[in-house]
Amino acid sequence: MATILVPKEEERPSELVGRSVSRVEGRLKVTGEAHYAADYDVDSLVYAVVIQSTIASGRIIKIDMKEAERAPGVLGFLTHQNAPKLNTPIRDFMKESVMDEKFLPLQDDVIRYAGQDVALVVADTFENASAAASHVKVTYEEKKPIVEFNDGMAQAYKPESFMGFRPAQIKRGDMTLSNGIKLERTYTTPVEHHNPMEPSSWVASWNGNSLTIYNSTQWVRGNRSVLSQVFGIPVDKIRVISYFTGGGFGSKGFDSVHEIVAALAARHFLRPIKLSLSRQQLFTSTTHRPATIQNLSLSATRDGRLTAIKHDTISQITFSGDFFEPCGGVSAELYACPNVEISHTVVPFNTAGTGAMRAPGEATGSFALESALDELSYELKIDPVELRMMNYANENPEDGNPWSSKYLDECYGLGSTQFGWTRRNPEPRSMKQGRHFLGWGMATAMYPGIRSPAAAKVRILPDGRALVTSATHDIGTGTYTILTQIAAETLGLPIEKVKVEMGDSSMPFAPVSGGSATAASVGTAVKESALAALNKTMLLAAGDTKSPLYGVRPEDMIAEEGGILSERSSDSFVEIIRRNKLPFIEAEATAAPGEEQEKFSFMSFGSVFAGVMVDSELGEVRVSRVVGVYDVGKVINPKTARSQLIGGIVMGIGMALMEHTVYERVHGRAITTNLADYTVPVNADINKIDVEFIDKPDPHISSLGARGVGEIGITGVAGAVANAVYHATGKRVRDLPITPDKLL
Ligand code: MOS
């Protein structure tokens, strides 16, 4: 790769934020030089394979390892009978990272789901460990598992809050004041698995009482904290490393029980351990999106004004965890409606811990709400876009706060134009091409604008380059690239002169790479630490009689072209560091949200328009076109942001048409544990996707004006596709995924 030394005119640092810069780590990825957790081979490494329960509920009676122990290369086993006791970490997501399950692994004989770790074998090679694992015989006392709502309703309950974040039960206004027509419908969404490209993996090694763990994770600092509690060792004795994470979508956001198992085994066997889940195990032994049943009722006047929304969600949780799908949030905040009632009821299942999957609550809740609005638009004979504009929320209807910024009306307008929506004949089955029915549908996208405290360190080096560090992660999203852009623009350097390092728990604090919050949180920390480093540099120049900038006030200086300029003179980073005999100039800054959080509501919005072709003989649905227009504040990098949105839309198409983890009721096992039975969209399933941005900065989220783009892309897609399928066929499918059997 040729190194560009002088930035081309269009790559001037002062305009780097907002520019489509290609991924700075792209070359490492396509050449295989980017190392993921399982790529690390440390000295005297041995391999662990987990042996997992084949029943979903009951107890372990006996683990017979006679034959397995004689298998070649075996170092030993860990089970609940010989595993050391561990400390239970705190479980308060508002304070700390939490484990994806309430129970520590290998601590008792209770089985809560099929796929639960019951033993672990360690051998000299992965193959020997796998072979030995296949000889382990576990006897169980089996109870009837619960893997369906019908079987578990007796244990249903209503939680007070969603993970401590927001209330799970909401009432506003007076539901008896609902008037006009009333539409009551039930929508369901299935269990879905994240299916990142990189299976969850760990390489754990101990040096005395110090632990180093290469981890495929969305939160190195969270992992460090949980490991510290579980093993009872100080955080500074633990180093969690994740330079690259091959997709997470929420599955690597909590602390995995297998991470604990890997660290436990490494300590027990006094050898570095590599543990990697198989693709099959990702379906049985990692978190997943909970199944939901959503009862939704909308009341509206004949002229299209919503008078009441009632959104009752029944969500799966599990006996091992407590995460449920908070579907009602969209109904509380998306449209202006005086009377609203939101409830969540949870039903525990015998499956692996439920967890966050891309836009938890919004992806599923918006499917129900946006389908119901489409149904209402047919009842009232009002165009779906117009109906949404009639109920436009100029302020957050739930807390009454003004939006920090909102351009959803422009999203509808631009989306309609791009798609050609006004040419639509609303009549179902009004468009046919050969044996295909064509249909057009639309929906609203939304996802909160979240920001958390974060820190970063910026070091200006003696050669005029800069190094940025923060314990954040690039989970495939483009974090390396946007942080490089932000630091380079702030320091007045070309991007080639800025290096960003991340994914190491010893670096300055960063929050979980979740909630689409990294750009606003860590991006702002990088900007502020770069400004602080710059300010130090300016003060050095101003106070140095040998500097051409001697006596100039820092506020009269700007950073440009590798140094500092005033109106009449300049000095370079290289010279300033050399004259002051410094190893480097460095500043660390923490950036945190402030009182604006109380004054404004932060939400990103979008409009999604979908065109489908439905085979009238086979019932197969193909999405021929999607137009998505998004108001996400300032777009830091249109290229990586567009990729995020396209990825979200593709995942939304999977949610609409394909994805569904199926469990059998007898033993409670997942039976779609591969990518042939659990299908996700491939290139051949995806046609034209157009993504547009409104690209107006949010003046309140942070000085960057960006709200983040990781999750909003999946929201609204299933609704838009389902609405298009109805328009095409006249059949309203309320149960995802929309598979051919539901249309024939
Ligand atoms: Mo996400 S589902 O906040 O990683």
Q: What is the pLDDT of residues 600-638, one digit of tens each?
A: 999 999 999 999 999 999 999 999 999 999 999 999 999
Instruction: State which of 162, 255, 256, 358 you would mutate to test the pocket of ligand 1, scoring each by most atoms of that ligand within 8 A of its C-beta.
Output: 358
Stretch 533-544: mean pLDDT? 97
Residue 711 is among the residues annotated as catalytic for this protein: yes
Per-residue confidence (pLDDT) for residue 2, from 0 to 100 = 33
Task: Name which residue leads in pLDDT, 7 or 379.
Answer: 379
Q: How far is the CA of 491 from the centre of ligand 1 (A)?
A: 31
The CA-atom distances, in angstroms, between 149 and each of 47, 185, 396, 655 are 38, 18, 33, 20
- Residue 11 has what pLDDT? 47
- Closest ligand 1 atom, CA of 250? 4
Residue 14 is predicted with a pLDDT of 63
The two structure tokens encoding residue 555: 């506020």
- Ligand 1 interacting residues, C-beta cut-off 6 A: 218, 248-250, 253, 356-358, 360, 514-515
Share of the chain above pLDDT 70, in %: 98
Residue 13: predicted pLDDT: 56
CA distances from 156 to 100, 208, 562, 601 (A): 21, 47, 62, 32
Strand pairing of 306-318 and 273-276?
Answer: unpaired
Over the stretch 401-437, which tens digit does the pLDDT of each residue have? Answer: 999 999 999 999 999 999 999 999 999 999 999 999 9
Closest CA to 54 of 669, 556, 536: 669
According to the model, what pLDDT value does residue 239 have? 98
Q: Which whole number is the average pLDDT over 655-662?
A: 98
From 325, 709, 711, mutation site for ligand 1 pocket: most ligand atoms within 8 A of C-beta: 711
Whether residue 534 contacts residue 479, with contact meaning beta carbons closer than 8 Å, is answered with: no
pLDDT at 718: 98
pLDDT (average), residues 133-156: 97
Q: Which amino acid is at 677?
A: D
Distance in angstroms (rounded) separating the CA atoms of residues 18 and 28: 24
- The residues that bridge with 571 in the sheet, in sequence order, are 564
Of the candidates 213, 206, 180, the one whose C-alpha atom is nearest the C-alpha of residue 37 is 213
State yes or no: cis peptide before 462, omega within 30 of 0: no
Q: What is the signed CA dihedral for 329, 330, 333, 335, rounded to 10 degrees? A: -150
Q: How far is Cα 662 from Cα 671, in angstroms, rounded to an integer?
A: 6
pLDDT band at 94 (very low <50, low <70, confident <90, very high): confident
Q: Which residue has the tokens 């007045």?
A: 492
What is the phi-psi region of residue 598: left when phi exceeds 0, alpha when psi lies from -120 to 50, beta otherwise? alpha
Q: Residues 479, 516: contact at Cβ < 8 Å?
A: no
Average pLDDT across the chain, whole number: 96
How far away, in angstroms, is 533 Cα from ligand 1 center? 32
Question: Given the CA of residue 251, which atom of ligand 1 is nearest to it?
Answer: 4
- Six-digit token pair at 164? 């401590």
Integer Cα distance of 243 and 717 in angstroms: 31
> Could you tell me the pLDDT band of residue 38, with boundaries at 50, 70 and 90?
very high
| Residue 164: pLDDT band with limits 50, 70, 90 | confident
Is the pLDDT confidence value at 589 over 90? yes
Contact 491, 565 (CB under 8 A): no
Instruction: Lay out the sheet containing 454-460: strands in order across.
Output: 498-502, 466-470, 454-460, 585-591
For the range 615-618, what are the long-range contacts, defined as Cβ-Cβ under 8 Å and sequence gap of 24 or more?
Answer: 615/435, 615/436, 615/740, 616/432, 616/435, 616/436, 616/437, 616/729, 617/435, 618/740, 618/744
pLDDT for 64 equals 97
* Count of Cβ atoms closer than 10 Å to residue 186 Cβ: 14
Which is nearest to 687 in space by CA: 722, 646, 720?
646
- The predicted model scores a pTM of 0.96
Give the whole-angstrom CA distance, residue 259 versus residue 215: 8
Among candidate residues 566, 502, 514, 512, the one with its CA nearest the CA of residue 538: 566
Band of residue 3 on the pLDDT scale cut at 50, 70, 90: very low
pLDDT at 9 over 60: no
Question: What's the chain's Rg over C-alpha atoms?
Answer: 27
Which atom of ligand 1 is least distant from the CA of 249? 4
| C-alpha to C-alpha distances, 24 to 1, 21, 34, 70, 488, nearest whole angstrom | 12, 8, 12, 49, 13
Mean pLDDT value of segment 370-382: 98
CA of 126 to the centre of ligand 1 (A): 31
Instruction: Tell which atom from ligand 1 comes closest to the C-alpha of 516.
Output: 3
Digit-coded pLDDT (tens) for 341-369? 999 999 999 999 999 999 999 999 999 99
Say what percent of the chain tops pLDDT 90.
96
**Which atom of ligand 1 lies nearest, measured to the CA of 357?**
2
Mean pLDDT in residue range 81-98: 92
DSSP string across 210-246 = EEEEEE--S-HHHHHHHHHHHHT--GGGEEEE-S--S
Dist CA 694 CA 64 (whole Å):
62
Angle between helices 638-657 and 362-380 (to 10 degrees): 70
Can you state the percent helix, strand and coil of the chain, rounding each to 5? 30, 25, 45
Distance 218 CA to ligand 1 centre (A): 9
Element housing 62 (H / E) = strand 58-64
Number of H helices, E strands in the chain: 17, 29
Question: Alpha-carbon distance 335 to 88, whole Å?
Answer: 42
Tell me the three state secondary structure of residue 177. helix
Place of tokens 């939400």: 603
- Given 192, 370, 375, 711, the catalytic residue: 711
Q: Which residues of 115-137 are buried (b: 16+ CB within 10 A; e: fewer)?
A: bbbbbbbbbbebebbebbbebbe
Distance between CA 431 and CA 743 in Å, rounded? 17
Q: In the chain, what's the furthest Cα-to-Cα distance?
A: 84
| Nearest residue to 688 via CA among 432, 418, 447 | 418
> Is residue 10 over pLDDT 60?
no
Q: Is the pLDDT of residue 81 over 50?
A: yes
- 358 C-alpha to ligand 1 centroid (Å): 5
Rounded distance, CA 113 to CA 120, Å?
A: 17
pLDDT exceeds 70 at position 7: no
712 HSE (CA, 13 A, CB side):
30
- What's the rounded Cα separation, in Å, for the pair 348 and 322? 8
Residues 393, 335 contacting (CB under 8 angstroms)? yes
Tokens found for residue 626? 């999607």
> What interhelical angle do 717-729 and 638-657 show, nearest 10?
50
Find how far residue 163's CA is from the centre of its chain: 16
Q: Which atom of ligand 1 is nearest to the CA of 360?
A: 2
Closest residue by Cα to atom 4, ligand 1, is 250
Please report the pLDDT score of residue 729 as a whole number. Answer: 98
CA of 515 to the centre of ligand 1 (A): 5
Per-residue pLDDT tens over the stretch 292-338: 999 999 999 999 999 999 999 999 999 999 999 999 999 999 999 99
Q: Which of 624, 627, 621 shows the shortest CA–CA distance to 609?
A: 627
Strand partners, 318: 349
Structure tokens at 460: 């200006």
CA 211 to ligand 1 center in whole angstroms: 27
Confirm if 336 and 394 have CB atoms less than 8 A apart.
Answer: yes
Write out the two tokens for 86. Answer: 């561990």
Q: How many angstroms separate the alpha carbon of residue 254 from the centre of ligand 1?
A: 10
